[in-house]
Structure 1
């Protein structure tokens, strides 16, 4: 417990300046020696910021590299994530950061119950589902039921199967929805995500529920598709995102401690170039988002030659006859936005359900999803002729829906990679100098610390899940 409280006290100290801007000073004078002084309100902002900022960094390092959004350049090394060169350290930050912040979520959940604050309990369950779903989708089977219980003497937690974890998370989100009581306002300092708006939080809970149900929709014993339809058919009971105003987005102000994850903005765009696949998808669609994501390529006379990336997994020895499109630094410079989930994702879920014949109006929801994604990133109306382009006009295929969803998930933690593993779309080109026989990894390796500190349970997990190998498919992929 002492270790957990020290962690909580540290985050309270770091985030204390958030309370200085409000009239509620009850959290600025917390006695760090008293466990009972920790409130759900004192934990929520550090958790939101901590998980979001690390996810943004890992999107840059992992997702965007695997999904050919951008690649190291110039790069003459033999390895790199964009070449599917995955080490035990590739996912270590996701693992350690995830569990660190989930410890605070668990404390938030505990204190919510002790103080009889069901709205905070609902939010804590939502944050826990968000955090644990990203961990299990990245690694497969992980500790959950016995995790973060060192104060109870459990220093080597067992691994739960991914199926069991999803059963817990889906049940948690169902319970969270039932707990919200808008007649009782949140009593503590405004949260960073929704400014204590309970209607908005409930919409996030149910929209996240849709995401996780879709992830498991290929598992017939979960009946997830029918549950999706149940939620979509009863928005009074299950309110969900209905416009971009509902998006779950961390607004990074740049005012300490709410800073960009990149201490030096130049570290975001130096040594990287846009991937050909991602840039070409935007160019062929005449998509206005490209101006907000990429710079224009230049020839050796320093003349602009339009948007042009380089192929992911290139040999490393090529001499390109142009300077490729780079990354727009403003994406990582405060004030900036770290997206957790958007209304466009909900519309693409509806479109997929309709494309499969389980819901209505696939084209309408496809158009809504594309429109919302473009208008959110550009903050401008979608071009009136956008869907005249043959690449954009709805063609009734799942591939088209997921390809546009891929574009919409730009800079959203690990979701592009997870969706690719679930659907096989978009169809990525073969990389030139790939490791792993040019096969997209299905998971990341457990960090070295797992073997070092929890070896026996690690071995038991492998007996059930399969080898600790990047080609071992997680439960919902099998």
Structure 2
């Protein structure tokens, strides 16, 4: 019989209780109750998972989905105007930085430090893989970040030196390898329901680790293709995700989708609406998923988008705007939005990653077949009947020519990530240049032809860390962005 160190209660997310007194107070977690080597890993793991999910499903989702031009600022509100204009301040990123380091990485390290204890080993395996995921979130957003000195023992180091993004990626690969090496699905000590991503299924953790490694190596495709190819070669015969790696939420307070919860705290104001960029492309392809990602405009049977960044155009009663679907968590007036999952990685992404690796000749497999699997997984995730869409898309997949095949793969990945993996879609656009139909935001503060390429370092680093390496601007590219 499997032994679970701790049986989670239904309110595990409530451990990170949400105080919604406006945007500045959202999830203001200042005290970490788990800062003790005596804390049970079964209590720490869900706390860390929740912290990562909060950042991924809120800040990263908003910025990623607006900069991927799925969403834009509503004309009748103002919360995200600066995001659409690319007029950012370091303080915009204080909270996600804090949550990822102080409430995510610190907790995960507490578990990792106990990896040699047999009852903890499977928790440590999951913690290592999740820490690798978190490091990629941080370095893909900010570039060079604290890593080796981020923690002092089990405590957060407030004055760490920064590590190069290249070395952080080396740590990502090492953590995944170490985590996978510890996995023993037959162990009598495995996580249970307190594991909010896979409920203790260690085979799925291994598949997640392999898929994350594939994603990370492909991220190096333009900066170090030799290393990327060699790393992917080690994945021959590996298992990859065939279902979404996600946290699912409930309708009760403290357990809701984090973006929905923040919007409720902001008075249910609808700040996000459909962008013409994504919607018009989907309409041109007669994509049946359109209503999985957007709502018909009020009183109509159509999805009405607006040009990216056109929030200063006065609203018109004659042209009601379409909102994101409750599937995305960005519809605060719909109770169903509370249930939207936060997707760490999707099955669709897994197949598209494999398709790209196969197209490059770096991984065995049928690129066209995996491309089809990716589109199919996206339709299945939203219970949408594809009609002739998948057949048509697969028939148009280029028989040869890497550039043309990559364009097809990444563009379909972009459609699949609409509303749930905005940050990853933006990261893939930075890496590959696809999709190639992004437009200049109407109110962009940047020169023509320039787009945002990174997050800004938080003000807390500038003011508190004497080893802070210096401020960046939003157009400074990260290391792998060539």
Q: SS in structure 2 opposite 1:122?
A: helix
Equivalent residue number for residue 24 of structure 1: none
How far the C-alpha of 1:387 sits from its partner, in A, is 3.2
Equivalent residue number for residue 328 of structure 1: 325
Partner Cα distance (1:173, 1:425) in 2: 28
Q: Could you tell which deviates more after superposition, 262-271 or 396-405? A: 262-271
Equivalent residue number for residue 398 of structure 1: 406
Aligned residues: 434
Q: Quick check: 1:269–1:329 contact (8 Å CA) kept in 2?
A: no
| Distance of aligned partners of 1:351 and 1:59 in 2 relative to their CA distance in 1, 3 Å threshold | same
| Distance of aligned partners of 1:234 and 1:192 in 2 relative to their CA distance in 1, 3 Å threshold | same
Equivalent residue number for residue 50 of structure 2: 49
Partner Cα distance (1:185, 1:412) in 2: 35
Equivalent residue number for residue 263 of structure 1: 261
Which residue, 367, 376, 385 being the options, matches 1:362?
367
Segments of structure 1 that go 5 or more residues without pairing to the other structure are: 1-10, 18-31
1:48-73 deviations in whole A, cap 9, x for unaligned? 12211221111442111111111111
1:81-121 deviations in whole A, cap 9, x for unaligned? 12222221232222111112111111111123355633222
TM-score (normalised: structure 1) = 0.83
Whose helix proportion is higher, 1 or 2? 1
| Distance of aligned partners of 1:291 and 1:389 in 2 relative to their CA distance in 1, 3 Å threshold | same
How far the C-alpha of 1:381 sits from its partner, in A, is 4.6
Equivalent residue number for residue 105 of structure 1: 108
Partner Cα distance (2:13, 2:294) in 1: 38
How far the C-alpha of 1:390 sits from its partner, in A, is 6.3
1:353-387 deviations in whole A, cap 9, x for unaligned? 233344442211111111111111x224532x113
Cα RMSD after superposing both structures? 2.9
Say whether 1:86 aligns with 2:88: yes
Q: SS in structure 1 opposite 2:113?
A: helix
Q: Quick check: 1:109–1:121 contact (8 Å CA) kept in 2?
A: yes
Partner Cα distance (1:188, 1:394) in 2: 42
Partner Cα distance (1:413, 1:432) in 2: 20
Partner Cα distance (2:245, 2:34) in 1: 34
Partner Cα distance (1:199, 1:472) in 2: 39
* TM alignment of 1:447-462, pairs within 5 A: 447-455=458-466, 457-458=467-468, 461-462=469-470
Q: Could you tell which deviates more after superposition, 252-261 or 47-56? A: 252-261
TM-score (normalised: structure 2) = 0.82
Q: Quick check: 1:56–1:413 contact (8 Å CA) kept in 2?
A: no
Partner Cα distance (1:309, 1:16) in 2: 35
1:23-66 deviations in whole A, cap 9, x for unaligned? xxxxxxxxx89944312211111111221122111144211111
| Distance of aligned partners of 1:33 and 1:52 in 2 relative to their CA distance in 1, 3 Å threshold | closer
Partner Cα distance (1:221, 1:287) in 2: 34
